[in-house]
Structure 1
Amino acid sequence: MKREPAVAGYFYPERKDELYSLLSSFAVPEEHISGSVIGAIVPHAGIIYSGRTAMYSYRAIEKSIIRDFIIIGPNHRPITPYASLYPEGKWSTPLGDAIINERMAEELYRNSDYIVKDEESHRMEHSVEVQIPFLQYMFGEAFRFVPVILGDQEMEIARNIGEALLRISDPFIFIASSDFTHYESAKTVEKKDMDLISAIKTLDLDKFYSVLEEENVTACGYGAIASLMYYTRKRGGQMIFLNHSNSGDVTGDYSEVVGYGSLVSVVP
Structure 2
Amino acid sequence: DYRRGGSCYAWAHRAILESPPHDLFVILGTAHSATRQKFVLTRKDFQTPWGRVETDREFLSALENGCPVDFYEDEFVHKTEHSIELQLVFLRALWDRPEPLRIVPILCGSFQEAILEGVGPMDLPGVAPFIAALRAAAGRGGKRVCFLASADLAHVGLRFGDPDPPSRFSLEVLAEEDRRLLACAEKMDGEGFFRILAAEKDRRKVCGLAPIYVLLQVLEKARGKLLKYGQSHDPVTQSAVTFASLAYFA
TM superposition score category, shorter chain reference? 0.7 to 0.9
1:213 aligns with 2:198: yes
Find the partner of 1:101 among 56, 61, 84. 56
- Relative to structure 1, the CA distance from residue 55 to residue 209 in structure 2 (aligned partners, 3 Å threshold; closer, same or farther) is same
Unaligned 5+ segments in structure 2 are 115-120, 158-165
1:179 aligns with 2:164: no
> 1:255: Cα distance to partner?
6.0
1:240 aligns with 2:198: no
Unaligned 5+ segments in structure 1 are 1-45
> 1:232: Cα distance to partner?
1.7
Identical pairs, percent: 23
Residue pair 1:95, 1:133 contacting (<8 A) in 2 also: yes
Find the partner of 2:82 among 105, 126, 146. 126
Correspondence 1:114-263 to 2 at 5 A: 116-118=71-73, 119-139=75-95, 142-153=100-111, 154=114, 155-156=121-122, 157-168=126-137, 169=140, 170-184=143-157, 185=166, 186-215=171-200, 216=202, 217-233=204-220, 236-248=221-233, 256-263=239-246
- Relative to structure 1, the CA distance from residue 161 to residue 242 in structure 2 (aligned partners, 3 Å threshold; closer, same or farther) is farther
The structure with more radius of gyration:
2
Residue pair 2:37, 2:71 contacting (<8 A) in 1 also: no
> Between Structure 1 and Structure 2, how many residues are aligned?
217
> 1:114: Cα distance to partner?
5.0
- Cα deviation code 1:39-71 (max 9, x no counterpart): xxxxxxx11111111111111111221131111
> 1:195: Cα distance to partner?
1.5
Hey, what's the Cα distance between the residues in 2 that align with 1:255 and 1:117?
37
Hey, what's the Cα distance between the residues in 2 that align with 1:228 and 1:115?
21
Hey, what's the Cα distance between the residues in 1 that align with 2:150 and 2:70?
17
- Cα deviation code 1:58-87 (max 9, x no counterpart): 111112211311111111012323311012
Per the alignment, in what secondary structure is the counterpart of residue 54 of structure 2? Answer: strand
2:160 corresponding residue in structure 1: none
TM-score for both structures, normalised by structure 1: 0.74
Per the alignment, in what secondary structure is the counterpart of residue 107 of structure 1? Answer: helix
Amino acid at match of 1:263: L
- Relative to structure 1, the CA distance from residue 115 to residue 241 in structure 2 (aligned partners, 3 Å threshold; closer, same or farther) is farther
TM-score for both structures, normalised by structure 2: 0.78
Hey, what's the Cα distance between the residues in 1 that align with 2:249 and 2:70?
26
- Cα deviation code 1:178-232 (max 9, x no counterpart): 1001124322331221111012223233311111122333221211111111122
User: Structure 1 or 2: larger helix share?
Assistant: 2
Stretch deviating more after TM superposition (201-210 or 71-80) = 201-210
Hey, what's the Cα distance between the residues in 2 that align with 1:73 and 1:61?
18
- Relative to structure 1, the CA distance from residue 161 to residue 49 in structure 2 (aligned partners, 3 Å threshold; closer, same or farther) is same
Residue pair 1:67, 1:142 contacting (<8 A) in 2 also: no
Residue pair 2:28, 2:84 contacting (<8 A) in 1 also: yes
